[in-house]
Structure 1
Amino acid sequence: MQTLAAQPGIRVNLAELIEMRHRVREVQLFSTAARRSPLIGLHHSKLRGRGVDFDQVRVYQAGDDVRTIDWRVTARTQEPHTKMFHEERERPIYIMVEQSQRLFFSTGLMFKSVLAAQAASLIGWAALGHNDRVGGLVFGDNEHHEIKPRRSKQSLLQLLSRLARANQALPGDPNAGRDSFGLALRRAREILRPGSLAVIICDERTLNDSSEQQLALLARHCDVLLLPLSDPLDHALPAAGLLRFAESGAKLELDTHNADLRRAYHEQAQARQARWERLALKLRVPLLALDTQREMVDQLRDHLNGSRASK
């Protein structure tokens, strides 16, 4: 497919996703020797199936996993102490990013499909800089493109190239009807080994009973990071009078002056958000919801600063 120039906010190309590497330093996604990320639990708390070596004992800090407390040192000093470990290098990080027709929409700063691509790119560059193995799955209405996790720039570039091509191919086939999100989650469960990190970037509206079950199964063996995407119009209808919609021969009319209609629409959106929040609490995984109104990096920074403040 011919590579198109980036259309800011509407489509992205590979060059734009590559440039995202320069913004990694603006968000502390992964911990370094000098700085602790609010997402440190994704690398230090569960340690499921990962190779780790004991490093040192230090005074307990808010947010440390209680399972790593050194009770002997704590009893001797009468002050809680935590065991520190060196993590296994080259951890597999699998970025699952949606590029479907339902994401080709926005009333804000950018299309949801662009927001998804930017978030995937930033996380990919951050993971590569953290010496982790990076791969992923770009899924949409008609096809999936998978890149196996490897600790190489070439692997990430392959993922970003697939992502850019899928983004430029939107809006795609309006008649596609299969559960692309469910298929993507099943594929992740098949290939990811325990201790991997699965980053889920998808439309907020894509969560259903089947995909929720798949996420629960995936979280048994892998760490999970949830990034559901939304637009202001997903949450509230404007009082704009009679609105007409048409797609593939189907037509719909909504009288947005109807207060009951607007209230029911808003309540459905609140229920979707609450479902994501309940799922994150149940699985004990981070939830970083993003919307099309603000820059993606600013939103991630606010999420992480909020996580730090709450600890």
Structure 2
Amino acid sequence: MTTLLPSEPGIRVSLAELIEMRHRVREVQLFSTPSQRSPLIGLHHSKLRGRGVDFDQVRVYQAGDDVRSIDWRVTARTQEPHTKLFHEERERPIFIMVEQSCRLFFGSGLMFKSVLAAQAASLIGWAALGHNDRVGGLVFGDNEHYEIKPRRSKQSLLQLLNRLVRVNQSLHTETEPDRDAFNIALRRAREVLRPGSLVIVICDERALTEGAEQQLSLLSRHCDLLLLPVSDPLDHALPAAGLLRFAERGAQLELDTLNYELRQTYRAQAEARVARWELLAQKLRVLLMPLSTQSEMVEQLREYLNPERPGKSR
């Protein structure tokens, strides 16, 4: 049995920290309420394409009704056009895929990327449970994948958070990275998720390979996606700090960060990654909300989801 380490704020998470995140749900309008409709859920429900809805009733066809919803059996029987009415599911499976790999065990901002990913997963999980949705997920790292089946229970969410904490606290810099971990996790999600599920993908910004793009495209055919790539300021720009030495499992690298061309090339690669995520989100017509360790997580989500917020820049 794994012994949980003492929490190190910003470096490692504790279960108590993730449980406390439930008190911050009210600060962000993640899901719709009778009095307020969230941009997040509004976007997804607007393109359900017949998934995630329950049959309600049949009534006489009215001008403006979708002809694809005509009930031909009732129409033939009554000799008058009738259309089917549907209402949105009161609960839907929400599957939170969260990465906890060694490439996330780094941060130059307020916290490590692994901590930011865990916090975001926890907040979304508590919000979904409060919205009466079934919550489950998949925690994946370099050499491990832990799956929690979606259920409408606090125990299911706590099981997910507990597993998330255990993987987070086992992270260290000597782990051999698995470059295919994200693809494997996405393939598993496609196997287990039912059509109409909402899949929250929280991963490193660098995880988007050609294979991962293909898996996300396939997953989006049957499920709604919300993409939250996580990054650190140093992922996007190198400081002009002179000669920097990096070491990883015996390999060493020296970079002269005073070299302007090197810094420009590094920045261009980062901009290409950002553009790749944006292009994919546009192509799949899904919501993209990149998160950075530079700012507080709840504040970033609030900026994305509150269109009336002053000074919104994203």
Q: Give the TM-score, by structure 1 length.
A: 0.88
Indicate the residue corresponding to 1:75 in structure 2. none
In 1: Cα distance, 2:90 partner to 2:230 partner: 30
The within-5 A match list for 1:129-208 is 129-171=130-172, 173-208=174-209
Indicate the residue corresponding to 1:18 in structure 2. 19
In 2: Cα distance, 1:246 partner to 1:169 partner: 20
Describe the shift of the 1:267–1:225 C-alpha distance in structure 2 as closer, same or farther (beyond 3 A): same
Indicate the residue corresponding to 1:42 in structure 2. 44
Report the identity percentage.
70
In 2: Cα distance, 1:134 partner to 1:225 partner: 15
In 2: Cα distance, 1:175 partner to 1:269 partner: 23
Structure 1 residue 50: deviation in Å?
Answer: 1.9
In 2: Cα distance, 1:23 partner to 1:150 partner: 22
Describe the shift of the 1:243–1:307 C-alpha distance in structure 2 as closer, same or farther (beyond 3 A): farther
In 2: Cα distance, 1:200 partner to 1:268 partner: 22
Indicate the residue corresponding to 1:71 in structure 2. 64
Structure 1 stretches of 4+ with a deviation exceeding 6 A read 307-310
In 1: Cα distance, 2:151 partner to 2:186 partner: 20
Indicate the residue corresponding to 1:33 in structure 2. 34
Indicate the residue corresponding to 2:105 in structure 1. 104
Indicate the residue corresponding to 1:59 in structure 2. none
Structure 1 residue 6: deviation in Å?
Answer: 1.8
In 1: Cα distance, 2:301 partner to 2:212 partner: 24
3-state SS, counterpart of residue 288 of structure 2: coil
Indicate the residue corresponding to 2:225 in structure 1. 224
Structure 1 residue 89: deviation in Å?
Answer: 2.4
CA contact (8 A) 1:235 1:266 kept: yes
Describe the shift of the 1:44–1:53 C-alpha distance in structure 2 as closer, same or farther (beyond 3 A): farther
Structure 1 residue 43: deviation in Å?
Answer: 3.1
Listed as ranges, the gaps of 5+ residues in structure 1 are 56-68, 73-83
Listed as ranges, the gaps of 5+ residues in structure 2 are 66-84
Describe the shift of the 1:237–1:169 C-alpha distance in structure 2 as closer, same or farther (beyond 3 A): same
Structure 1 residue 175: deviation in Å?
Answer: 2.0
CA contact (8 A) 1:141 1:172 kept: no
- CA RMSD after TM alignment: 2.2
Q: Alignment length, in residue pairs? A: 288
CA contact (8 A) 1:142 1:173 kept: no
Deviation digits for residues 4-48 of structure 1, max 9, x if unmatched? Answer: 222110110111100000000000011010111011122343154
Residue 6, structure 1, aligned to residue 7, structure 2 = yes
One-letter identity of the residue aligned with 1:5: P
Indicate the residue corresponding to 1:260 in structure 2. 261
In 1: Cα distance, 2:174 partner to 2:55 partner: 50
Describe the shift of the 1:306–1:289 C-alpha distance in structure 2 as closer, same or farther (beyond 3 A): farther
In 2: Cα distance, 1:143 partner to 1:103 partner: 15
Indicate the residue corresponding to 1:77 in structure 2. none
